[in-house]
Amino acid sequence: MQLIQHIINGQHTSGVSSQTIAVYNPALGQQSAEVVTAVVEDVNTAVAAAKAAFPAWSKMPSSKRANIMFNMRTLLVARQDEVAETISKEHGKTHDDALGEVTRALEVIEFACGITDKLKGNFSRDVAVGIDVTDERQALGVVAGITPFNFPAMVPLWMIPMALACGNTFILKPSERDPSSANLIHQLFAEAGLPPGVLNIVHGDKVAVDALLDHSDVKAISFVGSTPIAEYIYQRGSASGKRVQALGGAKNHMVIMPDADLDQAADALMGAGFGSAGERCMAISVAVPIGQETADKLVAKLIPRVEALKVGPYNQTGNEMGPVISADAQKRIKGLIDQGEAEGASVLVDGRSLSVAGCEAGFWVGGTLLDNVTKDMSVYQQEIFGPVLSILRANTYAEATDLINAHEYGNGTSIFTRDGDAARDFAANIEVGMVGINVPIPVPVAYHSFGGWKRSIFGAHGIYGPEAVHFYTKLKTVTSRWPTGIRAGAEFTFPTMS
């Protein structure tokens, strides 16, 4: 059985604990590896390594750090298939989907290649006569990232390139469900020339997380995961004086206006609802058609599409969706569908009994379409994080936006319409951080920043892009003036020589 180890100061190590966690191939439902679990002492070792690496790394000219990012980009382009394979093997998503994940990660690295420009401070000459002000942003020190299973390469690479480019050293605690991608990322960075100790990987569970949250030498925490954990991370990390950005759950609605292109909308819902088995914080889980006529037409277009979804293991070509991450997840998702049905939702397409030939033990849930969902149902209120799309029929645009604004989450949302007025009103007034106009999954490109609102985020910063530069640096402002020195002295000393 393969043993996935920590990587601290450039060295693989099992740390001081002999405890491990099983890692599965979810398409087969079989254990594929085991991963070590850190105790406090392991975290302390990693933090010490990162702290030791900080002075040299942070004082290195940012252009030199950028060079390593350029190298990393070249490596990641060349080896994207290898990374995608590593992702899919433990996560289950299709190869194309995994390649898409790598592409998004790549774009963050590309943005980090431009760090010299983004780290520019400001300069004001003569704020008063003879007094100048310069400001600059300096690295924080050791920072840490705690990342979820659903994007085992992308989410770490939302954080690491920006944190490192800004001059910080980093400790990643990846998901214990699919930890191999993190180690591969480390390997690529090492090949790109990253010095030992600048990036460290610590595997494990809540013990490791808490040790990071409490450690006084960890200056900032970036987290992506579910809302209850995000809130916990924000509270505990803040309690120890850190800056924290903790991105949580979502319930993303797509509003379909009567004038929308319904084929486009239906296609968009397929990708946004069932891609990656719905295990995306930007997945659309609720479609809100406006008016019964729109709803009926939309449903008619969705049913055959959901029924035709190709579900299977990532290494069979043609599949559009893989398994969910674990037996627990499978059980939880099926249970939520049961509950929705019990509460009155119409199960138009039912994925609960899906079995994939040759992979019968895999953690499968088929694409599921629920109609007549209402805002009181648990399938509406909770984030399902599975391949379940709910239709919640609204009569008016205002009813739809009230619904969205009332939801506890505010991560992403989308409207499909041709109408400039509807789109503008939606963009301006909806209480959600990431908004799509005829774009189902409005994940901002890497030179903008990712971040939701309300209980989808705790903290004041989005992730990657310009927000990351602010999050991973602190402001220093220098005000200066000079007493008359050698300049006047020179004039005084030598006049008889003229």
- Least distance (Å) from a copy of itself to the CB of residue 54? 12
Q: How far is CA 256 from CA 385, 442, 444, in A?
A: 22, 15, 21
Whether 113 is a known active-site residue: answer no
Sheet with 169-173, strands from edge to edge, namely: 11-13, 6-8, 199-201, 169-173, 142-146, 218-224, 243-247, 457-458
C-beta of residue 472 within 8 angstroms of C-beta of residue 162: yes
Longest Cα pair distance anywhere in the chain, in angstroms?
103
Q: Is residue 239 close enough to count as binding a copy of itself by CB under 8 A?
A: yes
Q: Pick from 118, 173, 215, 305: which binds a copy of itself (CB under 8 A)?
A: 118
- Quick check: 210 binds a copy of itself (CB under 8 A)? no
Q: Which of 18, 117, 376, 406 binds a copy of itself (CB under 8 A)?
A: 117
Each residue 151-180 as x (binds a copy of itself by CB under 8 A) or -, in order, gives ------------------------------
- Return the number of the residue (326 or 438) whose C-beta is nearest a copy of itself: 438
Q: Would you count residue 322 as binding a copy of itself (CB under 8 A)? A: no
Q: Which of 270, 277, 290, 359 binds a copy of itself (CB under 8 A)?
A: 290
Q: Rule CB under 8 A: is residue 111 a binding residue for a copy of itself? A: yes
Q: Please list the residues that pair with 384 across neighbouring strands.
A: none
DSSP-assigned letters across all residues of 296-351? HHHHHHHHHHHHT--B--TTSTT-SB---S-HHHHHHHHHHHHHHHHHT-EEEE--
Bridge partners of residue 20, in order along the sequence = 36
What's at 254, amino acid-wise? Answer: M
Interface with a copy of itself (CB under 8 A), residue from 82, 205, 231, 307: 231
Q: Are 464 and 158 in contact (CB under 8 A)?
A: yes
- The nearest distance, CB 16 to a copy of itself, in angstroms, is 31
Residue 352 token pair = 């609960």
Interface size with a copy of itself, residues (CB under 8 A) = 118
Residue from 149, 223, 458, 464 binding a copy of itself (CB under 8 A): 458
Choose one: 16-24, 59-67, 88-96, 171-179; the region binding a copy of itself (CB under 8 A). Answer: 59-67
The amino acid that residue 385 corresponds to is: F
Among 114, 195, 196, 271, binds a copy of itself (CB under 8 A): 114
Q: Which of 20, 45, 62, 411 binds a copy of itself (CB under 8 A)?
A: 62
Does position 68 bind a copy of itself by CB under 8 A?
no
For residue 207, give Cα distances in angstroms to 41, 379, 458, 468, 476.
10, 31, 21, 26, 35
Instruction: Rule CB under 8 A: choose which of 100, 121, 193, 195 binds a copy of itself.
Output: 121
Complex with a copy of itself: residue 10 or 121, whichever CB lies closer? 121
295, 393 contact by CB (below 8 A)? yes
Q: What phi and psi, each to the nearest 5 degrees, are found at residue 223?
A: -135, 140
- Is residue 464 part of the contact set for a copy of itself (CB under 8 A)? no
For a copy of itself, the closer of residues 296 and 338 by Cβ is 296
| DSSP three-state, residue 282 | coil
Residue 342 CB, nearest distance to a copy of itself (Å)? Answer: 25
Helix (H/G/I), strand (E/B), else coil: 269: helix
Residues 254-283 that bind a copy of itself (CB under 8 A): 257-261, 264
Report d(CA 132, CA 344) in Å as an integer.
Answer: 68
Element (H, E) at 220: strand 218-224
CB 329, min distance to a copy of itself, A: 27
- Phi/psi of residue 277, nearest 5 degrees: 55, 30
CB 441 → a copy of itself: shortest distance, Å? 9
Cβ closest to a copy of itself, residue 134 vs residue 316: 134
Interface residue with a copy of itself among 15, 313, 366, 442 (CB under 8 A) is 442
- Tell me which stretch binds a copy of itself (CB under 8 A): 175-183, 339-347, 369-377, 477-485: 477-485
Buried b (16+ CB within 10 A) or exposed e, 390-404: bbbbbeebeebbebb
Q: Which stretch binds a copy of itself (CB under 8 A): 61-69, 88-96, 185-193, 302-310?
A: 61-69
292 makes contact with a copy of itself (CB under 8 A):
yes
Query: Which residues fall within 8 angstroms of residue 478, CB to CB, at 6 or more apart?
Result: 133, 134, 135, 136
Beta bridge partners of 476: 136
Q: Which of 113, 166, 281, 359 is catalytic?
A: 281
Q: Residue 137, SS3?
A: strand
Binding residue for a copy of itself (CB under 8 A) from 434, 456, 464, 468?
434
The answer to the question of residue 331 lying near a copy of itself (CB under 8 A) is no
Report the SS3 class of residue 266: helix
SS3 state of residue 366? coil
Candidate ranges 18-26, 186-194, 197-205, 289-297; the one touching a copy of itself (CB under 8 A): 289-297
Which candidate, 186, 217, 188, places its Cα nearest to that of 202? Answer: 186
Verify binding: residue 48, a copy of itself, rule CB under 8 A. no
432 scored as a contact of a copy of itself (CB under 8 A): yes
Q: Which two tokens stand for residue 108?
A: 């963050």
Q: Site for a copy of itself (CB under 8 A): which residue of 34, 135, 341, 350?
A: 135
| Interface with a copy of itself, residue 127, by CB under 8 A | yes
Minimum CB distance to a copy of itself smaller for 3 or for 127: 127
Q: Which residues are catalytic?
A: 281
